[in-house]
């Protein structure tokens, strides 16, 4: 007999997929010679929200967004890029964050 555990019985835990939405920027960001035209925003987990008040994120407070968005965007936006960003693009990103925080029921109520 082997002392090793049965591999089938100890399958690794899988994480649930994290919802993601893509924002097409009205004014692309320039990164060296490359233009960033789209940014994916994933639903923040609790760790990504550290150091900010949720109500500030729901109100799309620019300081709070500049702390959270670098943690949940792909490509990862820097705070400097967010300070230079077109306000319309920042509102688009902030609205995605706000919708993620509302939960499924609140989102269903909005569409009804």
The side-by-side arrangement of strands in the sheet containing 73-74 is: 20-31, 34-42, 73-74
Would you tell me how many other CB atoms lie within 10 Å of the CB of residue 57? 21
Q: Which of 55, 47, 41 is nearest to 93 (CA)?
A: 41
> Tens digits of per-residue pLDDT, 7-57?
555 666 665 688 999 999 999 999 999 999 999 999 999 999 999 999 999
Instruction: Look up the pTM and report it.
Output: 0.78
Q: Which residues 6+ apart lie within 8 Å of 37 measured at CB?
A: 24, 25, 28
Would you tell me how many other CB atoms lie within 10 Å of the CB of residue 41? 24
> Tens digits of per-residue pLDDT, 79-95?
999 999 999 999 999 99
Q: Is the peptide bond before 30 cis (omega within 30 degrees of 0)?
A: no
The predicted pLDDT at position 18 comes to 84
């Amino acid at each position: 007999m082997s002392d090793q555990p049965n591999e089938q019985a100890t399958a690794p835990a899988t994480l649930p997929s994290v919802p993601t939405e893509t924002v097409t920027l009205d004014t692309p960001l320039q990164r060296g010679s490359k233009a960033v035209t789209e940014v994916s925003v994933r639903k923040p987990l609790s760790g990504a929200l550290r150091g900010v008040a949720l109500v500030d994120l729901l109100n799309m407070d620019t300081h709070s967004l500049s702390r959270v968005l670098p943690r949940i965007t792909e490509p990862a936006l820097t705070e400097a890029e967010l300070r230079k960003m077109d306000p319309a693009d920042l509102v688009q990103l902030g609205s995605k964050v706000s919708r993620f925080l509302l939960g499924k029921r609140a989102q269903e109520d909005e569409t009804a």
